[in-house]
Amino acid sequence: MPQQIYINLPVKDLARARAFYSALGFTLNPQFSNDDAICMVVSDTIHLMLLTEPFFAGFTGKPIADATKTTEVLLCLSRDSRAAVDELVAKARAAGGAVPRPPQDYGFMYGHGFEDPDGHIWELSFMDMSAAPPH
């Protein structure tokens, strides 16, 4: 079985978070979802766990960062093309997300991102390895 990653993020409104990530094309896994948390499937190996802030707090003794004011983590997903990057950013914007900065073209890599309604920033990238500089 391949290794999987479960990204756990605190959210203020579970229903709003579910609607936002559903609009991006992520699907609900009801097996790991209840009134305190939902699991959104990003891919076969990546799962997004959206936890209400009180439930999230039960897993840490540290204060929960307000992602609208501070950066707690930078998340990045690869896409198969520049068009796929821009398509997901457009879906995020249409679902109520923000676009914190314009796209960046680094020659061999194209990056663009969005911010979800809770302030978590997602970077999306497409890498053209044929254009990558040598090591």
C-alpha distances (whole Å) from 91 to each of 2, 17, 43 are: 29, 14, 17
Asked if residues 4 and 47 have their Cβ atoms less than 8 Å apart, the reply is yes
The predicted model scores a pTM of 0.87
Q: Are domains 1-62 and 65-135 of this chain identical in fold?
A: yes
Q: Which CATH superfamily is domain 65-135 in?
A: 2,3-Dihydroxybiphenyl 1,2-Dioxygenase, domain 1 (3.10.180.10)
Helix (H) or strand (E) holding 76: strand 74-78
- Domain spans of the chain, in order of start: 1-62, 65-135
pLDDT in tens, the chain (135 residues): 789 999 999 999 999 999 999 999 999 999 999 999 999 999 999 999 999 999 999 999 999 999 989 987 888 999 999 999 999 999 999 999 999 999 999 888 999 999 999 999 999 999 886 665 665
CATH fold group of domain 1-62: 2,3-Dihydroxybiphenyl 1,2-Dioxygenase; domain 1 (3.10.180)
Assess contact for 52 and 124: CB atoms under 8 A: no
